[in-house]
Amino acid sequence: MSMTTAQRNGVNVEALFGALDAVRAQPEAAKFQFRASNEWISGTHSRSRIHGFFGLGAEQTHRDPHEYDADHPEQLVGTDSGPSPVEFLLHALAACITAGIGNIAAARGIDLTRVHSTVTGDVDLVGLLGLDDSVRNGYQAIDVSLTIEGDAGADELRAVVERSVARSAVYDLLTNGTSVQVRVEVG
Amino acid sequence: MSMTTAQRNGVNVEALFGALDAVRAQPEAAKFQFRASNEWISGTHSRSRIHGFFGLGAEQTHRDPHEYDADHPEQLVGTDSGPSPVEFLLHALAACITAGIGNIAAARGIDLTRVHSTVTGDVDLVGLLGLDDSVRNGYQAIDVSLTIEGDAGADELRAVVERSVARSAVYDLLTNGTSVQVRVEVG
Protein backbone atom coordinates (compact mmCIF):
# COMPACT_ATOMS: atom_id res chain seq x y z
CA MET A 1 0.00 0.00 0.00
CA SER A 2 1.51 3.33 -1.05
CA MET A 3 1.43 5.88 1.73
CA THR A 4 1.15 9.52 0.76
CA THR A 5 0.90 12.39 3.21
CA ALA A 6 -2.87 12.24 2.72
CA GLN A 7 -2.96 8.59 3.82
CA ARG A 8 -3.30 7.41 7.41
CA ASN A 9 -4.07 3.81 8.39
CA GLY A 10 -4.51 3.12 4.69
CA VAL A 11 -7.31 5.71 4.56
CA ASN A 12 -7.13 8.54 2.03
CA VAL A 13 -8.23 11.18 4.51
CA GLU A 14 -8.50 13.91 1.89
CA ALA A 15 -10.80 11.72 -0.22
CA LEU A 16 -12.81 10.80 2.88
CA PHE A 17 -13.46 14.44 3.78
CA GLY A 18 -14.09 15.16 0.09
CA ALA A 19 -16.75 12.45 0.02
CA LEU A 20 -18.43 13.92 3.09
CA ASP A 21 -18.51 17.36 1.42
CA ALA A 22 -19.90 15.85 -1.78
CA VAL A 23 -22.73 14.15 0.12
CA ARG A 24 -23.46 17.32 2.07
CA ALA A 25 -23.84 19.14 -1.26
CA GLN A 26 -25.87 16.36 -2.89
CA PRO A 27 -27.57 14.14 -0.29
CA GLU A 28 -29.18 11.96 -3.00
CA ALA A 29 -25.73 10.49 -3.65
CA ALA A 30 -25.88 8.81 -0.22
CA LYS A 31 -28.84 6.60 -1.07
CA PHE A 32 -27.36 3.12 -1.60
CA GLN A 33 -28.87 -0.27 -2.27
CA PHE A 34 -26.78 -3.37 -1.57
CA ARG A 35 -27.65 -6.82 -2.92
CA ALA A 36 -26.90 -10.52 -2.68
CA SER A 37 -28.39 -13.29 -4.79
CA ASN A 38 -28.50 -16.84 -3.48
CA GLU A 39 -28.93 -20.23 -5.14
CA TRP A 40 -29.80 -23.40 -3.25
CA ILE A 41 -27.37 -26.25 -3.95
CA SER A 42 -28.47 -29.20 -1.79
CA GLY A 43 -29.80 -29.77 1.71
CA THR A 44 -28.80 -26.72 3.80
CA HIS A 45 -26.00 -25.75 1.39
CA SER A 46 -26.41 -22.61 -0.73
CA ARG A 47 -24.17 -20.11 -2.50
CA SER A 48 -24.51 -16.33 -2.62
CA ARG A 49 -23.14 -13.97 -5.21
CA ILE A 50 -22.34 -10.34 -4.42
CA HIS A 51 -21.40 -8.00 -7.26
CA GLY A 52 -23.63 -5.06 -8.20
CA PHE A 53 -25.03 -2.30 -6.02
CA PHE A 54 -26.59 1.13 -6.43
CA GLY A 55 -24.99 4.31 -5.09
CA LEU A 56 -23.86 7.82 -6.00
CA GLY A 57 -26.98 7.97 -8.18
CA ALA A 58 -25.98 5.12 -10.50
CA GLU A 59 -25.49 1.37 -10.84
CA GLN A 60 -22.09 0.25 -9.53
CA THR A 61 -20.17 -3.01 -9.30
CA HIS A 62 -17.43 -4.34 -7.10
CA ARG A 63 -14.19 -4.82 -9.02
CA ASP A 64 -14.77 -8.58 -8.90
CA PRO A 65 -17.87 -10.66 -8.20
CA HIS A 66 -17.68 -12.59 -4.91
CA GLU A 67 -19.24 -15.96 -4.10
CA TYR A 68 -19.74 -17.46 -0.65
CA ASP A 69 -20.97 -20.89 0.38
CA ALA A 70 -23.02 -21.35 3.53
CA ASP A 71 -24.21 -24.58 5.10
CA HIS A 72 -25.13 -26.08 8.44
CA PRO A 73 -22.33 -27.96 10.23
CA GLU A 74 -22.41 -31.76 10.39
CA GLN A 75 -23.34 -31.48 14.07
CA LEU A 76 -26.63 -29.99 12.83
CA VAL A 77 -27.13 -32.55 10.05
CA GLY A 78 -25.64 -30.29 7.34
CA THR A 79 -22.67 -31.08 5.11
CA ASP A 80 -20.38 -28.30 6.46
CA SER A 81 -19.73 -26.91 2.96
CA GLY A 82 -19.22 -23.47 4.49
CA PRO A 83 -19.90 -21.57 7.70
CA SER A 84 -23.47 -21.32 8.92
CA PRO A 85 -25.45 -18.17 8.11
CA VAL A 86 -25.32 -16.97 11.73
CA GLU A 87 -21.50 -17.08 11.62
CA PHE A 88 -21.45 -14.77 8.58
CA LEU A 89 -23.52 -12.38 10.71
CA LEU A 90 -20.74 -12.27 13.34
CA HIS A 91 -18.18 -11.62 10.59
CA ALA A 92 -20.34 -8.75 9.30
CA LEU A 93 -20.53 -7.17 12.75
CA ALA A 94 -16.77 -7.43 13.40
CA ALA A 95 -15.89 -6.10 9.94
CA CYS A 96 -18.32 -3.17 10.23
CA ILE A 97 -17.02 -1.98 13.59
CA THR A 98 -13.41 -2.43 12.43
CA ALA A 99 -13.93 -0.49 9.16
CA GLY A 100 -15.38 2.40 11.13
CA ILE A 101 -12.42 2.35 13.50
CA GLY A 102 -10.02 2.63 10.54
CA ASN A 103 -11.86 5.66 9.15
CA ILE A 104 -12.51 7.44 12.44
CA ALA A 105 -8.94 6.99 13.71
CA ALA A 106 -7.59 8.39 10.41
CA ALA A 107 -9.95 11.37 10.58
CA ARG A 108 -8.75 12.06 14.12
CA GLY A 109 -5.05 11.81 13.17
CA ILE A 110 -4.43 8.58 15.07
CA ASP A 111 -2.12 5.92 13.62
CA LEU A 112 -3.37 2.46 14.48
CA THR A 113 -1.07 -0.53 14.83
CA ARG A 114 -3.62 -3.27 15.57
CA VAL A 115 -7.34 -3.86 15.80
CA HIS A 116 -8.46 -7.37 16.64
CA SER A 117 -11.85 -8.64 17.72
CA THR A 118 -13.56 -11.86 18.62
CA VAL A 119 -17.32 -11.95 18.28
CA THR A 120 -19.41 -14.70 19.85
CA GLY A 121 -23.13 -15.41 19.66
CA ASP A 122 -25.06 -17.69 22.00
CA VAL A 123 -28.07 -19.50 20.65
CA ASP A 124 -30.31 -22.19 22.11
CA LEU A 125 -31.42 -24.27 19.14
CA VAL A 126 -34.53 -25.65 20.84
CA GLY A 127 -36.15 -22.44 19.54
CA LEU A 128 -35.10 -22.73 15.90
CA LEU A 129 -35.81 -26.48 15.91
CA GLY A 130 -39.40 -25.79 16.92
CA LEU A 131 -39.08 -27.69 20.23
CA ASP A 132 -39.79 -24.74 22.55
CA ASP A 133 -41.78 -21.73 21.34
CA SER A 134 -40.67 -19.65 24.34
CA VAL A 135 -37.06 -19.67 23.06
CA ARG A 136 -36.13 -17.30 20.20
CA ASN A 137 -34.61 -18.54 16.94
CA GLY A 138 -31.65 -16.16 16.89
CA TYR A 139 -28.78 -15.28 19.20
CA GLN A 140 -29.86 -14.51 22.74
CA ALA A 141 -26.81 -12.25 23.01
CA ILE A 142 -23.76 -11.27 21.00
CA ASP A 143 -20.46 -10.36 22.63
CA VAL A 144 -17.71 -8.35 20.91
CA SER A 145 -14.29 -8.42 22.56
CA LEU A 146 -12.05 -5.90 20.81
CA THR A 147 -8.39 -4.96 21.25
CA ILE A 148 -7.09 -1.67 19.80
CA GLU A 149 -3.51 -0.37 19.66
CA GLY A 150 -2.24 2.94 18.28
CA ASP A 151 -0.35 6.17 18.96
CA ALA A 152 -2.99 7.77 21.17
CA GLY A 153 -4.02 7.56 24.81
CA ALA A 154 -6.32 4.82 26.05
CA ASP A 155 -9.25 7.24 26.37
CA GLU A 156 -8.83 8.47 22.79
CA LEU A 157 -8.60 4.92 21.45
CA ARG A 158 -11.69 3.87 23.42
CA ALA A 159 -13.52 6.92 22.06
CA VAL A 160 -12.70 5.84 18.48
CA VAL A 161 -14.26 2.43 19.15
CA GLU A 162 -17.30 3.99 20.81
CA ARG A 163 -17.85 6.32 17.88
CA SER A 164 -17.51 3.45 15.42
CA VAL A 165 -20.06 1.34 17.31
CA ALA A 166 -22.42 4.33 17.47
CA ARG A 167 -22.17 4.72 13.67
CA SER A 168 -22.05 1.04 12.68
CA ALA A 169 -24.73 -0.07 10.22
CA VAL A 170 -24.53 -3.72 11.30
CA TYR A 171 -24.55 -2.88 15.04
CA ASP A 172 -27.63 -0.72 14.44
CA LEU A 173 -29.38 -3.53 12.53
CA LEU A 174 -28.54 -6.19 15.12
CA THR A 175 -29.54 -4.11 18.14
CA ASN A 176 -32.54 -2.27 16.71
CA GLY A 177 -33.78 -4.59 13.97
CA THR A 178 -35.29 -3.50 10.69
CA SER A 179 -38.21 -4.27 8.41
CA VAL A 180 -37.77 -7.41 6.28
CA GLN A 181 -40.27 -8.17 3.54
CA VAL A 182 -40.28 -11.65 1.98
CA ARG A 183 -41.99 -12.09 -1.41
CA VAL A 184 -42.40 -15.63 -2.75
CA GLU A 185 -42.90 -16.75 -6.31
CA VAL A 186 -43.66 -20.39 -7.10
CA GLY A 187 -41.83 -21.39 -10.26
CA MET B 1 -24.05 -36.46 -3.66
CA SER B 2 -25.13 -40.06 -2.99
CA MET B 3 -28.88 -40.36 -2.61
CA THR B 4 -30.15 -43.11 -0.35
CA THR B 5 -33.81 -43.74 0.42
CA ALA B 6 -33.30 -41.70 3.61
CA GLN B 7 -32.10 -38.66 1.60
CA ARG B 8 -34.34 -36.01 0.11
CA ASN B 9 -33.06 -32.70 -1.25
CA GLY B 10 -29.63 -33.73 0.01
CA VAL B 11 -31.02 -33.90 3.55
CA ASN B 12 -30.61 -37.09 5.57
CA VAL B 13 -34.17 -37.01 6.89
CA GLU B 14 -33.61 -39.92 9.27
CA ALA B 15 -30.61 -38.15 10.82
CA LEU B 16 -32.61 -34.89 10.99
CA PHE B 17 -35.45 -36.50 12.95
CA GLY B 18 -32.86 -38.38 15.03
CA ALA B 19 -31.22 -35.06 15.95
CA LEU B 20 -34.58 -33.63 17.00
CA ASP B 21 -35.22 -36.66 19.23
CA ALA B 22 -31.72 -36.36 20.72
CA VAL B 23 -32.28 -32.69 21.60
CA ARG B 24 -35.71 -33.47 23.04
CA ALA B 25 -34.06 -36.03 25.32
CA GLN B 26 -31.11 -33.77 26.22
CA PRO B 27 -31.94 -30.08 25.70
CA GLU B 28 -28.47 -28.97 26.88
CA ALA B 29 -27.07 -30.29 23.57
CA ALA B 30 -28.92 -27.47 21.76
CA LYS B 31 -26.92 -24.69 23.43
CA PHE B 32 -24.49 -23.47 20.75
CA GLN B 33 -21.97 -20.65 20.62
CA PHE B 34 -20.76 -19.47 17.20
CA ARG B 35 -17.66 -17.30 16.74
CA ALA B 36 -15.73 -15.16 14.30
CA SER B 37 -12.39 -13.46 14.91
CA ASN B 38 -11.42 -10.41 12.89
CA GLU B 39 -8.09 -8.70 12.20
CA TRP B 40 -7.81 -5.19 10.79
CA ILE B 41 -5.59 -5.03 7.69
CA SER B 42 -5.65 -1.41 6.48
CA GLY B 43 -8.20 1.37 6.11
CA THR B 44 -11.64 -0.23 6.04
CA HIS B 45 -10.25 -3.64 5.02
CA SER B 46 -10.34 -6.49 7.54
CA ARG B 47 -10.33 -10.28 7.49
CA SER B 48 -12.40 -12.65 9.59
CA ARG B 49 -11.67 -16.24 10.45
CA ILE B 50 -14.40 -18.75 11.25
CA HIS B 51 -13.43 -22.17 12.53
CA GLY B 52 -14.38 -23.28 16.06
CA PHE B 53 -17.75 -23.28 17.78
CA PHE B 54 -19.40 -24.88 20.80
CA GLY B 55 -22.33 -27.28 20.55
CA LEU B 56 -23.61 -30.70 21.60
CA GLY B 57 -21.93 -30.02 24.94
CA ALA B 58 -18.38 -29.80 23.55
CA GLU B 59 -15.93 -27.73 21.49
CA GLN B 60 -16.36 -28.36 17.76
CA THR B 61 -14.67 -27.17 14.57
CA HIS B 62 -15.70 -26.83 10.97
CA ARG B 63 -13.85 -29.31 8.74
CA ASP B 64 -11.78 -26.39 7.39
CA PRO B 65 -11.14 -22.90 8.71
CA HIS B 66 -12.71 -20.16 6.55
CA GLU B 67 -11.42 -16.64 5.96
CA TYR B 68 -13.38 -13.74 4.50
CA ASP B 69 -12.24 -10.24 3.55
CA ALA B 70 -14.52 -7.27 3.95
CA ASP B 71 -13.95 -3.69 2.86
CA HIS B 72 -15.80 -0.58 1.81
CA PRO B 73 -16.19 -0.09 -1.96
CA GLU B 74 -14.11 2.54 -3.74
CA GLN B 75 -17.28 4.64 -4.08
CA LEU B 76 -17.12 4.95 -0.27
CA VAL B 77 -13.38 5.63 -0.15
CA GLY B 78 -12.46 2.01 0.61
CA THR B 79 -10.19 -0.25 -1.45
CA ASP B 80 -12.92 -2.79 -2.45
CA SER B 81 -10.85 -5.72 -1.16
CA GLY B 82 -14.09 -7.59 -0.46
CA PRO B 83 -17.81 -6.96 -0.08
CA SER B 84 -18.94 -4.50 2.53
CA PRO B 85 -20.10 -5.83 5.91
CA VAL B 86 -23.74 -4.99 5.16
CA GLU B 87 -23.59 -7.16 2.03
CA PHE B 88 -22.46 -10.17 4.10
CA LEU B 89 -25.57 -9.57 6.20
CA LEU B 90 -27.79 -10.01 3.12
CA HIS B 91 -25.92 -13.22 2.24
CA ALA B 92 -26.52 -14.49 5.79
CA LEU B 93 -30.25 -13.80 5.53
CA ALA B 94 -30.63 -15.49 2.13
CA ALA B 95 -28.58 -18.52 3.20
CA CYS B 96 -30.50 -18.92 6.47
CA ILE B 97 -33.94 -18.90 4.84
CA THR B 98 -32.73 -21.22 2.07
CA ALA B 99 -31.18 -23.76 4.50
CA GLY B 100 -34.46 -23.91 6.40
CA ILE B 101 -36.37 -24.47 3.16
CA GLY B 102 -34.10 -27.45 2.32
CA ASN B 103 -34.72 -29.07 5.71
CA ILE B 104 -38.44 -28.33 5.98
CA ALA B 105 -39.22 -29.49 2.43
CA ALA B 106 -37.33 -32.75 3.10
CA ALA B 107 -39.18 -33.30 6.38
CA ARG B 108 -42.49 -32.78 4.53
CA GLY B 109 -41.56 -35.20 1.73
CA ILE B 110 -41.25 -32.51 -0.94
CA ASP B 111 -38.53 -32.76 -3.60
CA LEU B 112 -37.22 -29.32 -4.50
CA THR B 113 -35.79 -28.50 -7.90
CA ARG B 114 -34.82 -24.85 -7.36
CA VAL B 115 -34.65 -22.18 -4.68
CA HIS B 116 -33.32 -18.80 -5.72
CA SER B 117 -33.46 -15.50 -3.89
CA THR B 118 -32.33 -11.94 -4.32
CA VAL B 119 -31.98 -9.87 -1.19
CA THR B 120 -31.68 -6.08 -1.29
CA GLY B 121 -31.11 -3.56 1.46
CA ASP B 122 -31.71 0.18 1.17
CA VAL B 123 -29.55 2.49 3.23
CA ASP B 124 -29.20 6.26 3.30
CA LEU B 125 -25.57 6.89 4.22
CA VAL B 126 -26.17 10.41 5.53
CA GLY B 127 -26.97 8.59 8.80
CA LEU B 128 -23.84 6.46 9.02
CA LEU B 129 -21.67 9.37 7.84
CA GLY B 130 -22.90 11.46 10.76
CA LEU B 131 -24.50 14.10 8.49
CA ASP B 132 -28.09 13.63 9.70
CA ASP B 133 -28.86 12.21 13.13
CA SER B 134 -32.49 11.61 12.20
CA VAL B 135 -31.44 8.94 9.68
CA ARG B 136 -30.49 5.49 10.99
CA ASN B 137 -27.10 3.88 10.26
CA GLY B 138 -28.43 0.57 8.98
CA TYR B 139 -30.82 -0.59 6.29
CA GLN B 140 -34.16 1.18 6.34
CA ALA B 141 -35.67 -1.94 4.84
CA ILE B 142 -34.59 -5.32 3.48
CA ASP B 143 -36.45 -7.06 0.69
CA VAL B 144 -36.22 -10.80 -0.04
CA SER B 145 -37.53 -11.95 -3.40
CA LEU B 146 -37.57 -15.75 -3.47
CA THR B 147 -38.47 -18.29 -6.16
CA ILE B 148 -39.20 -21.91 -5.20
CA GLU B 149 -39.83 -24.90 -7.46
CA GLY B 150 -40.61 -28.50 -6.47
CA ASP B 151 -43.03 -31.41 -6.71
CA ALA B 152 -45.76 -29.94 -4.54
CA GLY B 153 -48.61 -27.49 -5.01
CA ALA B 154 -48.05 -23.75 -4.85
CA ASP B 155 -49.69 -23.50 -1.43
CA GLU B 156 -47.50 -26.26 0.01
CA LEU B 157 -44.35 -24.65 -1.40
CA ARG B 158 -45.36 -21.25 -0.04
CA ALA B 159 -46.01 -22.86 3.34
CA VAL B 160 -42.46 -24.29 3.37
CA VAL B 161 -41.03 -20.81 2.81
CA GLU B 162 -43.30 -19.30 5.48
CA ARG B 163 -42.23 -21.93 8.01
CA SER B 164 -38.56 -21.37 7.19
CA VAL B 165 -38.90 -17.60 7.64
CA ALA B 166 -40.76 -18.14 10.91
CA ARG B 167 -37.87 -20.34 12.18
CA SER B 168 -34.93 -18.43 10.68
CA ALA B 169 -32.29 -17.30 13.15
CA VAL B 170 -31.06 -14.47 10.92
CA TYR B 171 -34.59 -13.26 10.07
CA ASP B 172 -35.35 -13.20 13.80
CA LEU B 173 -32.18 -11.21 14.55
CA LEU B 174 -32.75 -8.70 11.74
CA THR B 175 -36.42 -8.10 12.53
CA ASN B 176 -36.31 -8.26 16.33
CA GLY B 177 -32.74 -7.27 17.16
CA THR B 178 -30.69 -8.69 20.01
CA SER B 179 -28.39 -7.56 22.79
CA VAL B 180 -24.84 -6.72 21.66
CA GLN B 181 -22.16 -6.08 24.27
CA VAL B 182 -18.86 -4.48 23.16
CA ARG B 183 -15.85 -4.81 25.46
CA VAL B 184 -12.72 -2.85 24.58
CA GLU B 185 -9.15 -3.51 25.63
CA VAL B 186 -6.41 -1.00 24.79
CA GLY B 187 -3.22 -2.89 23.88
Q: What is the pLDDT of residues B107-137, one digit of tens each?
A: 999 999 999 999 999 999 999 988 999 999 9
β strands within A26-153, DSSP E: 31-42, 45-55, 58-70, 112-124, 141-150
Contact B73 A80 (CB under 8 A): no
CA distances from residue B153 to A74, A180, A185, B162 in whole angstroms, order as listed: 31, 25, 12, 14
> Which residue of chain A comes nearest to B54, CA vs CA?
A122
What mean pLDDT, rounded, does chain A reach? 95
> Which residue of chain B comes nearest to A174, CA vs CA?
B177
Residue B173 DSSP label: H
- Chain B residues in contact with A86 by the CB 8 A cut-off are 34, 92, 96, 169-170, 173
Whether the model clears a pTM of 0.90, i.e. scores above it, the answer is: yes
Tell whether B156 lies on the interface with A, counting CB pairs under 8 A. Answer: no
Position B1 scores a pLDDT of 41
Among residues A99, A143, A100, the alpha carbon closest in space to that of A118 is found at A143
> Which residue of chain B comes nearest to A82, CA vs CA?
B66
Bridge partners of residue A186, in order along the sequence: B148
* Residue of A74, A182, A183, A185 to mutate for B, most B C-beta atoms under 10 A: A182
The secondary structure element, H or E, covering residue B32 is: strand B31-42
Query: pLDDT tens digits for A98-154?
Result: 999 999 999 999 999 999 999 999 999 999 988 999 999 999 999 999 999 999 999
- A residues 99..128 contacting B (CB < 8 A): 99-103, 106, 112-126, 128
Among residues B180, B95, B176, the alpha carbon closest in space to that of A85 is found at B95
Spatial neighbors of A57 by CB under 8 A, at least 6 apart, are A28, A29, A31
* Torsion angles phi and psi, residue A141, rounded to 5: -160, 150
Position A19 scores a pLDDT of 87
Position A94 scores a pLDDT of 98
What is the bridge-based pairing of β-strands B141-150 and A179-186? parallel
